[in-house]
Copies of this chain bind each other. A is one copy, B any other.
Amino acid sequence: MTTVSLLSDEEVSAEALAVFTEIREVRGTDFINNFWRAMAHDPALLRATWDRLRVVMAPGALDPLVKEMLYVAVSTANGCSYCVHSHTAAAKAKGMSDEMYGEVLAVIGMAMQTNGLATGLQVEVDEVFLG
């Protein structure tokens, strides 16, 4: 359960509703997920988060699918259940195949493992990596 109520379209402020309208236009769907309905309690935070997300996740030197997979990786390491679910769904919607998903998980598992080993051993960084 969210710590705040999930606001319906009827309950949000005009400023928040304007963000919802943009989300709907960009995504081509009427559906607004719970994250945004919870954030709508603070329209300025909602606006800033959405504006930045839209820029960061847009196609650039990396394609949007790679960005979604990076998002899943970070969210998994941070243990954010909501974010893992929403961005795994987004990655699938953007074309992540079962094979790709398996490899994302394998890399996450591998990285977590060597993160533990390198931190446990407190390995000093090689000079060559320091440029």
Contact = CB atoms under 8 A, between A and B. Distances in A.
Nearest to A61: B99
Most buried by B among A34, A44, A100, A105: A105
Given A125-B81, A129-B33, A107 B3 contact: no
Interface residues of A, number: 82
Contacts of A115: 74-75, 78, 80, 83, 112
Contact of A3 (B31, B71, B121, B126): B121
Interface of A: 1-6, 31, 33-35, 38-39, 41-42, 44-45, 48-49, 52-53, 55-57, 60-62, 66-67, 69-89, 97-100, 102-126, 128-131
